[in-house]
Structures are given as C-alpha cells and as structure tokens.
Structure 1
Amino acid sequence: MTHPITVAIVDDQPLMRFGLRSLFETDDDFQIVGEAASGEDAVRLAQDLTPDVLLMDVQMPGMDGVTATARVRELGLRSRVLILTTFDTESYVLDGIRAGASGYLLKDVRPGELFDVVRRVAAGEVFIQPSVAVKYLHLLTTRSVPDEHLTAREEDVLRLLARGLSNKLIARELDISESTVKNHVKSILAKMQVRNRTEAALNARKWVDEA
C-alpha cells in the first residue's frame, strides 16, 4: 500500500484553509499534516513536519509566500512548494518560480486539477497553469539570450533535470559522479541566467532546441 501524499496548507484566510482541508480530506491519496497563516509559520512547519507539498499563498502578513518559498529552498528541506494564489501578475509569477516553487496555480482551479497537480509536484515535476505560463513566457521572450550554448553533456543533464531527477539519479543515469553533475548544473544555471533548477526545467526545451 502506497503512503498518502502529505500536504500542508499555508494561507492567512481561515475559511480558505478550512475549505482546502475539507477538499483534500475527500481523497485518500492525501493527508493534511498542518496549516500555517504566515510565511514564518510555513517555514517552521516545513522544518518540523517536512510535508511532501506546501500549498503556499503569496500575499500574507509578515513574511510573504515568495520569501517563505525561498527560505524553504535555502534550508534544503525536501518539501516542494506549490503556489496557490489569486495573483497572476508577471512579477509574482517570476518571483515565485525564481524563489524555487515547483508549481504555480490560481485559486479558481477545479478540485480534480488541483489534486492532479499536487500529485505531479510531489513526484518531482514542475507545473505552471497555462494561463499563468503565458505571462512567464512573455518575460522570457523580452529578455536577451546570451551567446553561450550548452555543451552536449550539459544538455543531457538538463533533460534529466527537467524530468525532476535529483543530482544523484542524474549521476546514475549518465554514469558520472554526483560532484560532476553539480558542476554541470551550476554551469547550466549560469549560462541560462536562471536562479534555480525549477526555472531551468521550465526553459529546458528552448535551450536544448537552440543549442
């Protein structure tokens, strides 16, 4: 029997937290392990409970959701962050992805789609709601692309990174050392001018095709 996906809800609105908890409790694939009403509490919750997925609102009193997402990533916690918000402005989308979020959804999403995305994020995939992705892609097309191209080996690493594989699994797949993978990932992020693996994964198709 597979274990349920553990989920924590981070939202400053009690009614929203209650609604999400009630929704997820209808599906045995999920287990709600905690709630938080601020970014500070979200980081502490992630440290104490390490849920598989943090459902993270953006605007909250004190530490906002983007800052909390970045902090979770900086601490090296295994919890993946799925931003669930009403805001889809370009700055929020870009900041959320750059902070290390694995997904970005708007709150008008249907329950079945929310469940599906949580499963995918928990499995290591990256997902941005199509209507939100349009804004993100607009930012990419208006940003200059450097002359540097990825090497063939960096392309291999990027393809596997885009599938959600860890450095350890990439090393095993390519039969190279984990330290070599880390060096390749560092070079990939620098050449692509992105801040983290999530943003690199979102741009993988463009860079691999153009290199």
Structure 2
Amino acid sequence: MQQLEPTYDKKLECKVCKKSFTTKKLRSRFVKVSSYDTDFCPSYSAEGMNPLYYHIHTCPHCGFSESEDFSPYFPPGALELIKLKVADVWKPHDYSRERSITDAISTYKLAVYCGTLKKEKHLILAGLYMRLAWMYRSLKNTEQEQRFMKLAIKEYLESYMADDFRGSPVSETRLFYLVGELSKRTQQIEQAIKYFSKVIEKRSQEPKLIEMAREQWYEMRAEQKSAVN
C-alpha cells in the first residue's frame, strides 16, 4: 500500500497573469499542535509540519502572492500597479515545492507587498505581519519579531478604525486582546493595559479571552507596583 505524503499539490490560476500553477498544502492529519503562546502562535509537534509555511500562494510566473483570505476584488488601478511593481520586475522563482522557513518568510513578505498594492483589508495585513512575527520567533530573531509585531498592532488598530474586521472570524473582543497582547510583548505597557481593560469590560461571549486578558492585566499591574516600591 502506498504511503500517504504529508503534502499535496493544489492547482490554482493566478489572478494577475491568469497562468496555472500548483502550490503545496499540508494534509490536516499530519498537523499536530503541541501548544499555543498567549498571542495564539502555534507550536507543532513535528518539525517541518507547519501549515503556516504553505499559507501563501505565490505565482512562479509573475510573483503575485496572496492567501485564501485575500479578496478576489481588485480596486481600480490595482491590477496595473501589481503588474508594474511586481510582475514586471519578477525574477522567476518557484515556491511550489516543500518550503523551508526562509522560503515561507519570503512568500509572506511578497504577500504583504501585493496586499498593500491591492489595498487589502487592514485585518488581512495584520494577520500576515503576525505570522511573520511568529516565524521570526521560532528562529529566535527578536529584532525582526518585534518589528513585525509592531506592524501587526498598527494594522489591527487601523482595522478597528476602518471597521474592516466586521464579518470576519476576528471579533472586536479578540482584536482588542491581540492589540493588548502584542503591545505587552513590544513593551508598550500602558497601551497593553488599556486594551486588556477593554476586553475585560466587554463581557462578551468569549470567556476564555476575558480570562486571559484579566491574567495579563493583573500581572502587568503587579509588575508596575513592584517597580514603584
């Protein structure tokens, strides 16, 4: 009996150049999460069995990169801008094979660039920056992890201001929690306390998030008091 491979090929058509290509995906049965960090960064039991590596689809022909979260809609002028800034300067590179973490990081950066040119929702860009921060965390590259967490905070706050998270799996409570958690991790303590307080005040249908926020809030308040004494 033939052994099942952890990855399989998914056929896609590029929305920019209209050419076909394949991208790898991980079969869910091979994905086993061993733990989560407080910002929901998953740790996987098996080395290399990380579905985040394959979250981005990068066209080998023109370089256009997106995730399944991207909108199919291109605002006026966006397609032409992507062709000019991405496709016209693209040096052919194929990300359709099994990816290393370095490959994955490259695809996310391409997706951020394409998403920015395409004027994707702030919530989508925030998610890309978050995943970049997680990957740099696994590489123990604190400088880059901090950089991308700060970019994620900015986009989450923009998402809240623009109200573009509505109708997504990210509730207002979860958005506030993420801003609080990432603010804490980037040493923006007053901002972290402010957004954890907002979570606690919400009294929403997400008791686990409220409990996590309360724990973080008490921890930071205790640290502030001990620093003063």
- The normalised TM-score by structure 2 is 0.26
Higher RCO (CA < 8 A, seq sep 6+): 1
Flag the structure with larger Rg.
Answer: 2
